[in-house]
Amino acid sequence: MRRKELGPDKHVTIKDVAEAAGVSLATASRVLSGRGYASESTRERVNNAIRELNFRPNEMARMLTSQHTDSIGLVLKNLVDPYYGHLANGVLDRVHQLGYHVIVCATDENEQLEREHIEMLMRQRAAGIIAVPTGSNQESWQELINMGVKTVFIDRQVSGLGDVDTIQVDNVRGAHKAMSYLISLGHSRIGIINGPVYSQQYADRLKGYLDALTEAGIKPDQELQENLSSKSEDSTQAINRLLSLPKRPTALFMTNSSIANSAIFTLREYHLQIPDDISLIIFDDAPLAQINNPPITVVAQPMAAIGHLAMEQLDRILKQSEQQIQQPVQRIIISPELIIRSSCSSPKIKR
Partner DNA sequence: ATGAGAAATGGAAACGCTTTCACATTAAAT
Partner DNA sequence: ATTTAATGTGAAAGCGTTTCCATTTCTCAT
By the criterion CB under 7 A, which residues form the site for DNA? Answer: 2, 10-11, 13-15, 22-27, 29-30, 32-33, 35-42, 55-58, 61-62, 64-67
How far apart CA 183 and CA 192 sit, in angstroms, is 13
CA angle (104 as vertex; 107, 13 as ends), nearest 5: 145
**Closer residue to DNA, CB minimum distance, 56 or 219:** 56
Q: By rule CB under 8 A, what string of x and - marks binding of each residue 235-254 to a second copy?
A: --------------------
Which of 47, 261 has the CB closer to DNA? 47
Query: Least distance (Å) from a second copy to the CB of residue 300?
Result: 14
CA distances from 86 to 23, 76, 129 (A): 48, 12, 17
* Beta partners for residue 299, in sequence order: 283, 338
Contact region with a second copy (CB under 8 A), list: 35-43, 110-118, 200-208, 327-335? 110-118
When the beta carbons of 113 and 218 are compared against a second copy, the nearer one is 113
CB of 19 to a second copy, least distance (A): 20
Binding-site member from 16, 93, 170, 337 for a second copy (CB under 8 A): 93
Stretch that binds a second copy, among 169-177, 203-211, 220-228, 283-291 (CB under 8 A): 283-291
Q: Does 161 bind a second copy (CB under 8 A)?
A: no
Closest Cα to residue 122, out of 94, 98, 142?
142
Decide whether 107 or 227 has the Cβ nearer to a second copy.
107
160: left (phi over 0), alpha (psi -120 to 50) or beta: left
Which of a second copy, DNA, none interacts with 14 (beta carbon under 5 to 8 A by kind)? Answer: DNA
Q: How far apart are CA 244 and CA 262, in angstroms?
A: 16
Phi, psi dihedrals of residue 197, rounded to the nearest 5°: -75, -5
Position 59 contacts a second copy (CB under 8 A):
yes
Structural contact between residues 253 and 283, judged by C-beta atoms closer than 8 angstroms: yes
The one-letter amino acid code at 271 reads H
CA distance 255 to 193: 6
User: Minimum Å distance from CB 79 to a second copy?
Assistant: 5
Cβ pair 151, 165 in contact under 8 A: yes
d(CA 170, CA 196): 17
Q: How far apart are CA 88 and CA 93, in angstroms?
A: 9
Look at residues 105, 72, 115, 113 and name the one whose alpha carbon lies nearest to residue 91. 72
Q: Does 106 bind a second copy (CB under 8 A)?
A: yes
Q: Please say which residue, 26 or 120, places its beta carbon nearer to a second copy.
A: 120
For the bound state, the minimum distance from the C-beta of residue 162 to a second copy, rounded and expressed in Å, comes to 13
* Contacts to a second copy by CB under 8 A: 4-8, 11, 54, 56-61, 63-64, 67, 69, 74, 78-82, 85-86, 88-89, 92-93, 96, 101-106, 113, 116-117, 119-120, 122-125, 143, 146-148, 261, 264, 268, 287-288, 291-293, 321, 324
